[in-house]
Amino acid sequence: MPELPEVETVRRGLVPWVKGKKIKSIEVVHKGGNRASTFAPVKSANGAKIKDLHRRGKFLWFELDRDFALVAHLGMSGQFLVQPKKSPDEKHLRVRLDCGDRSKEIRFIDQRTFGWVAIDDLVYESGKMIPRSYSRIALDIFDPDFNKVEVVARIQKKKSAIKKVLLDQSVMSGVGNIYADEALWRARIHPERMANSLKADEVNELLRSVKSVMSRALKQGGTSFDDLYINVNGESGYFAVQLEAYGQEDEPCSRCGTQIKRIAFGNRSSHFCPKCQKNLKKSGVKRG
């Protein structure tokens, strides 16, 4: 599933094609591309000017000169591609967006149909209007209004494994399985360690690791393991070659040489170094 670096890469790629442009037409080619709870038909955006393109966590917000928003989520395999208008439709084409370019259009393609494009109503948050979808999730670590002190306190109150807390979009949005494993490895924290056992300096180090690893991933265009994630030009991200923990089962830890282990985590997996990332709770060490 695309995580924050992948969605931000897509946002940056789309900006030159959409910011300041008027939507000539937007067409739902397949109903799988439209969220069932859309506030209004997607075609309501026809004729609207796109003032800017924002992101919160894994959501994209096309800010319009209207009293509603156009919002998108890539789901597990959603792609926005800038394609020649004359090129054949892709097998999994869901939504077509024409912003007035003579030869190019934007296509939303989604093989697994968990992604969507929809109209959202606007609601107030901290004195400004945002899409309702935004209001359901916490700020991500790159948001200028991100309050690190509040997030640290929120994490320390959670009676759940820290890996689960990192994936909780109501605590901090944008982090998924890949970057949770990578950040925990960098911060030397076991994925099953209870969040409320962590000291404040440990949580601060973890958040620094989250921001660092995602910043590095952004410079590489995100992480691609297959063609389900590509940027708007159809190119893969190259951060996979720099992964230290995720997907590295049985490979030597680059810090200590111990084999990276994989454990079941709900319907996912966690990858970690058993020497660098000891589960202190299981060792009887308590938070002081």
Handedness of CA 138, 143, 145, 146 (dihedral sign): positive
What is the predicted pLDDT for the residue at 25?
97
In this prediction, residue 283 carries a pLDDT of: 40
Coil, strand or helix: which one is 246? coil
Residues of the chain with pLDDT under 50: 282-288
What is residue 147's predicted lDDT score, i.e. its pLDDT? 96
Residues recognised as catalytic = 2-3, 58, 268
Coil, strand or helix: which one is 4? helix
Our measurement of the distance from residue 286's CA atom to the centroid of its chain's CA atoms, rounded to an integer in Å, reads 33
d(CA 255, CA 103): 51
Residue-level pLDDT at 228: 60
- Global pTM exceeds 0.85: yes
Residues 85/105, Cβ–Cβ less than 8 Å: yes
Site of tokens 């002190």: 149
Q: What is the chain's mean pLDDT, rounded?
A: 91
Q: Return the amino acid letter for 70.
A: L
Distance CA 12, CA 213 (A): 18
* pLDDT for the residue numbered 288: 38
The Cα 221–Cα 3 span in angstroms is 12
Q: Token pair for residue 119?
A: 């109209």
What's the pLDDT score for residue 197? 96
Delineate the domains of the chain, giving CATH numbers in brackets: 4-135 (3.20.190.10), 148-272 (1.10.8.50)
